[in-house]
């Protein structure tokens, strides 16, 4: 049998979806795990905890959630913040999207650390840092990116960024681009039907849901954003992917597969579970149990918009989620307009049992690789948050 390479797979998915998907909107919020946010999915068969203490809203604190905090959680020195939001009460629109679109219950932060590295994985599949650099003197890296790939292949794009161009301002090829605009412009552009084929959307506090923000306020702005796309007439041809950048030191009951580790022999990828919702006119609904991570998001955009490989193996080798788009089915109805009543599917009685987790990927974890720059040169693997050296790599 002929071996199918990455470019062949991308072309095959893209040809099947030609004309059905005209737009991909990637929305990134902040700092919550799957258990922390989606308690309300338990009765519908979601693999989520359902009996932890209820978190106040707004949450009481912004707990440390950097690489060292992740190491404590990974090794059992800390459980993380062991609470959950009442999904049905404070996050009902997210529960609606999870029940009417696709919910990836085993989606994971790409790296076990805090924000910046995970944002960069979503934009371009790699990160030279495992910390949050100062935005006052942001480093600039000449890495390939999904928007840069779109630019090179005639796919229109726009990044509605947070303050100071975060996080796209870390990319030399994107910094200063007229396609990087303030997130406040999104609603007007969407209502006017003025969105390009590839869209990134970030929000500033408190609408990014970063603790100690009121999470309902962030949800409401996401609701307004999706509704604006529908008002602009683009719902049927748009695929949305909504995720949260990192775990925020909130607990989660699922042990995630070890795929990569740092020189101190500590698991880096996959990070803890964080929610991923995929929805829109052509998206198949259901709870999906496959293992996936933040690099699956740009890979899926590449599949749906018919672009070639980026040149970053971690991203290019990911199978993507393009199979969740139906090339021929009837479009899903748009969600209720912002501020109107949400009719959630009835709670099953008896509750649906969750599926067992899928098999973990075969093979031993590997050391995290070097950073690939445009032009083919490299930077050393990220190692700026060293931890106590472990005697063996994970899985060895």
* SS3 annotation, 56-117: CCCCCCCCCCCHHHHHHHHCCCCCCECCECCHHHHCHHHHHHHHHCEEECCEECCCCCCHHH
* 160 phi, psi to nearest 5 deg: -90, 100
Q: How far apart are CA 47 and CA 26, in angstroms?
A: 24
Q: How far apart are CA 66 and CA 129, in angstroms?
A: 12
Q: The domain 6-339+351-379: what is its CATH number?
A: 3.40.720.10
Q: Are 396 and 80 in contact (CB under 8 A)?
A: no
Look over the chain and give the mean of its residue pLDDT values, rounded to a whole number: 94
Mean pLDDT confidence for 300-306: 98
Per residue in 136-146, pLDDT (tens digit) is 677 999 999 99
pLDDT at 304 over 90: yes
pLDDT at 2 over 50: no
Q: Give the pLDDT band (50/70/90) at residue 327.
A: confident
Partners of 379 in the β-ladder: 371
């472990």: which residue's tokens? 390
Q: Are 95 and 38 in contact (CB under 8 A)?
A: yes
SS3 195: coil
Q: How far apart are CA 276 and CA 250, in angstroms?
A: 16
pLDDT at 3 over 70: no
Asked if omega into 384 is within 30° of 0 (cis), the reply is: no
Q: Count of CB atoms within 10 A of residue 253's CB? A: 14
pLDDT at 357 over 90: no
Give the distance, in angstroms, between the CA of residue 331 and the centroid of all CA atoms in the same chain: 24
Q: How far apart are CA 70 and CA 174, in angstroms?
A: 30
For 348-396, give the DSSP string.
Answer: PSSPPPPPPPPPPPSS--EE--PEEPTTS-EEPPP-SS--PPPSS-TT-
Per residue in 212-233, pLDDT (tens digit) is 999 999 999 999 999 999 999 9
Structure tokens at 345: 């599917």
Mean pLDDT confidence for 32-40: 98
pLDDT at 329 over 50: yes
Q: Are 293 and 110 in contact (CB under 8 A)?
A: yes
Q: Where are the domains of the chain?
A: 6-339+351-379
pLDDT value, residue 367: 98
Count the residues in the chain: 396
Mean pLDDT confidence for 121-134: 95
Mean pLDDT confidence for 7-32: 74
Per residue in 144-197, pLDDT (tens digit) is 999 999 999 999 999 999 999 999 999 999 999 999 999 999 999 999 999 999
Q: Please state the pTM of the whole predicted model.
A: 0.95
- Torsion sign over Cα 303, 106, 28, 259: negative
Helix, strand, coil tally for the chain in percent (to 5): 30, 15, 55
Percent of the chain beyond pLDDT 90?
89
Q: Give the pLDDT band (50/70/90) at residue 9.
A: very low
């Amino acid at each position: 049998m002929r071996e199918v390479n990455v470019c062949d797979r991308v072309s095959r998915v893209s040809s099947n979806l030609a004309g059905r998907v005209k737009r991909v909107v990637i929305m990134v919020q902040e700092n919550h795990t799957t258990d922390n946010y989606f308690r309300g999915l338990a009765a519908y068969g979601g693999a989520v905890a359902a009996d932890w203490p209820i978190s106040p809203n707004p949450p009481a604190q912004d707990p440390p959630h950097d690489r060292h905090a992740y190491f404590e959680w990974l090794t059992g020195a800390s459980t993380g913040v062991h609470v959950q939001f009442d999904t049905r009460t404070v996050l009902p629109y997210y529960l609606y999207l999870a029940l009417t679109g696709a919910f990836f219950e085993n989606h994971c932060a790409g790296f076990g650390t805090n924000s910046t590295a995970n944002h960069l994985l979503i934009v371009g599949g790699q990160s030279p840092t495992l910390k949050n650099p100062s935005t006052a003197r942001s480093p600039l890296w000449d890495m390939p990116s999904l928007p840069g790939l779109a630019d090179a292949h005639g796919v229109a794009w726009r990044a509605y960024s947070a303050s100071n161009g975060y996080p796209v301002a870390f990319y030399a090829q994107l910094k200063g681009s007229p396609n990087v605009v303030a997130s406040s412009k999104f609603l007007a552009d969407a209502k006017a039907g003025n969105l390009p084929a590839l869209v990134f959307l970030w929000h500033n506090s408190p609408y990014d849901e970063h603790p100690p923000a009121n999470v309902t306020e962030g949800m409401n702005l996401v609701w307004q954003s999706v509704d604006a796309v529908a008002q602009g007439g683009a719902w049927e041809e748009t695929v949305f992917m909504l995720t949260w950048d990192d775990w925020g030191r909130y607990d989660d009951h699922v042990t995630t597969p070890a795929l990569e580790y740092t020189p101190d022999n500590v698991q880096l990828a996959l990070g803890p579970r964080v929610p991923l919702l995929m929805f829109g006119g052509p998206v198949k609904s259901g709870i999906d149990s496959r293992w996936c991570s933040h690099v699956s998001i740009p890979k899926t955009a590449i599949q749906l918009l018919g672009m070639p490989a980026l040149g970053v193996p971690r991203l290019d080798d990911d199978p993507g989620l393009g199979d969740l788009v139906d090339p021929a089915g009837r479009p899903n109805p748009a969600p209720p307009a912002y501020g109107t009543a949400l009719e959630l599917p009835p709670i099953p009685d008896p509750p649906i049992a969750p599926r067992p987790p899928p098999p973990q990927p075969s093979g031993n974890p590997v050391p995290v690789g070097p950073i690939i720059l445009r032009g083919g040169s490299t930077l050393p693997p990220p190692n700026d948050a060293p931890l106590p050296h472990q005697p063996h790599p994970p899985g060895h």
